[in-house]
Amino acid sequence: MQAQTLPDLRRLSFGNAIPTQPPSILTQHYAPSAPQLPSVIAGLAYLQPTRERPYNYMYQPPQGEPWQNCEYDVRAMRITDARSFSARPSVHVEGFELWDAPSAVTNFQDESAIVDIYYREAAELARAVTGAQRAYVFDHLVRKREAGRPALTFGRHGDGTQAAAAGRIHNDYSEESGRKRLGLVLQDAIEAGAVERYSIVNIWRSIKGPVLDTPLAVCDARTVSATRLVPSEVRYPNRTGEIYLVEHSPRHQWAYYSAMDRHEALVFKQYDSQASGVSRFVPHAAFDHPNTPPDAPLRESIEIRCLVIYE
């Protein structure tokens, strides 16, 4: 499918809400492009129970401090190809949806193209998926596997040795950091105080080709208990963020979309201010697919974080 040009939105500056209607090229998509195994068994790294508040350093820690104060337990979990589902998942029920959403960006190594073009596309997609009225893209991260380094980085500037491809299961926002994000995005206290409900969603896309190497698994929000979500610190040189790490539960149901390509976007919930009746947290992690061809290209992807407001 050829990428299509979006309507002219150049009048909007970075960080503004996107009020225009989503383009017609956006459609919910889950049908398989080729036959795939309905599920695989693969390792996912759960947090081992601990009495300490977990932390991970994303830079060389101070002398005498370990990189982390917690350990992880890799569990063999069944991960179902969501393309085989008989019904489409919903971002407000299971917590995730796959959409056919071609991008006009041809080079995701171009930072200006990401901010000037992809941010607008992502905001429109976030509104279309969630039904929200306003969308604010506030962050992005490009990930790239490197030849000879079998690990994916964990966090923004992790050392490659700190996270294996069987990535640590996490949710980007906790209850506390999810509440704080509204005020960081809407810095006008009166405007923020008038918001009744908002969500934070992650938009994940391949930027190279079909993902055959270390795809992304998402956990059905309906199977996630708050008792298994552990507030944890991610320490950067100039700030400390809070995420959820996840303890194992036999109730967890995992899914992924096989061979996700550039024209597809996976949208999943990371926080919802509504306390009940909707998905709120979708833990996720990269995993080593057991059927990855030996000559498969190394995965390259981009993820967008977007706050949406319902009115």
CA–CA gap between residue 253 and residue 283 (Å, rounded): 11
CA–CA gap between residue 37 and residue 78 (Å, rounded): 12
On whether the CB atoms of residues 181 and 270 are closer than 8 A, the answer is: no
Q: Residue-wise over 199-236: b if at least 16 C-beta within 10 A, else e?
A: bbbbbbbbbbebbbbbbbbbbbbebbeeebbbebbbbe
Share of the chain above pLDDT 70, in %: 82
Closest residue by Cα to residue 37 from 210, 289, 213, 266: 289
Is residue 162 predicted with pLDDT exceeding 70? no
Residue 148's pLDDT band, with cuts at 50, 70 and 90, is low
Residue 145's pLDDT band, with cuts at 50, 70 and 90, is confident
How far is C-alpha 113 from the chain's CA centre? 20
Is residue 285 predicted with pLDDT exceeding 80? yes
Is residue 190 predicted with pLDDT exceeding 70? yes
Is residue 42 predicted with pLDDT exceeding 80? yes
Average pLDDT over every residue of 187-213: 96
> Which amino acid belongs to residue 299?
R
Residue 179 backbone dihedrals phi, psi, to 5 degrees: -65, -40
Cβ atoms within 10 Å of 146's Cβ, excluding its own: 11
pLDDT (tens digit per residue) in 209-245: 999 999 999 999 999 999 999 999 999 999 999 999 9
Share of the chain above pLDDT 90, in %: 79
CA–CA gap between residue 231 and residue 179 (Å, rounded): 14
Residue 114 backbone dihedrals phi, psi, to 5 degrees: -60, -50
Query: H or E segment at 120?
Result: helix 119-130
Most confident range (mean pLDDT) of 14-28, 138-152, 184-198 is: 184-198
Predicted TM-score (pTM) of the model is 0.86
DSSP lists the bridge partners of residue 155 as none
On whether the CB atoms of residues 265 and 208 are closer than 8 A, the answer is: no
pLDDT of residue 197: 98
Those residues whose C-beta lies under 8 Å from the C-beta of residue 184, and which sit 6 or more positions away, are 138
The three-state secondary structure class of 223 is: helix
pLDDT (tens digit per residue) in 85-138: 999 999 999 999 999 999 999 999 999 999 999 999 999 999 999 999 999 999
Closest residue by Cα to residue 269 from 250, 254, 284: 284
On whether the CB atoms of residues 17 and 123 are closer than 8 A, the answer is: yes
pLDDT (tens digit per residue) in 242-260: 999 999 999 999 999 999 9
Rg of the chain (C-alpha set): 19
Average pLDDT over every residue of 143-162: 53
Structural tokens at position 210: 């079909």
Least confident piece of the model among 34-43, 143-152, 263-272: 143-152
Query: H or E segment at 181?
Result: helix 175-185
Structural tokens at position 203: 């938009």
Is residue 33 predicted with pLDDT exceeding 80? no
The three-state secondary structure class of 45 is: strand
Largest CA distance in the chain: 56
